[in-house]
Amino acid sequence: MPKIIHSMIRVLDLDQSLKFYDQVLGLQRSHQLDFPDFTLVYLRNAENDFEIELTLNKGREEPYTHGTGYGHIAVVVDDVAAEHARLQGLGYEPAPIKEFKRGEELLARFFFIQDPDGYKIEVLERHGHYR
């Protein structure tokens, strides 16, 4: 059975992206490959073995476009309100917390935040399907 191991995103400022993913998601550099034209940095944390691969194409100055296909990656936390407040305290601007309900049944509590290159990350509270 195939196993998903990473998702790759292109970034313009590697240091800024490394700081964001460390502060926001607790992802640390697990592996790095440097080439003349590009650098690949793999990030992970102790919660899982799935990685985000940051790709820096050296010399590029124009921001990447996300087209109409990219949506977001998602992470879960124990307390969405506390995580939202923590990120605001670090100077980030997460979107407001929202809830999905079916009638009175809470399906999900979440917010979105964007990384320095505009990639969306959904932060969900550990609940129901989202564990």
Positions marked active-site = 122
Q: Find, among 29, 36, 71, 69, the residue nearest to 52 by Cα.
A: 29
C-alpha Rg value of the chain to the nearest Å = 16
Secondary structure (3-state) at 20: helix
Task: State both tokens at 40.
Answer: 């690949």
Secondary structure (3-state) at 127: strand
Any idea what the Cα angle at residue 47 is, between residues 51 and 50, rounded to 5°? 20
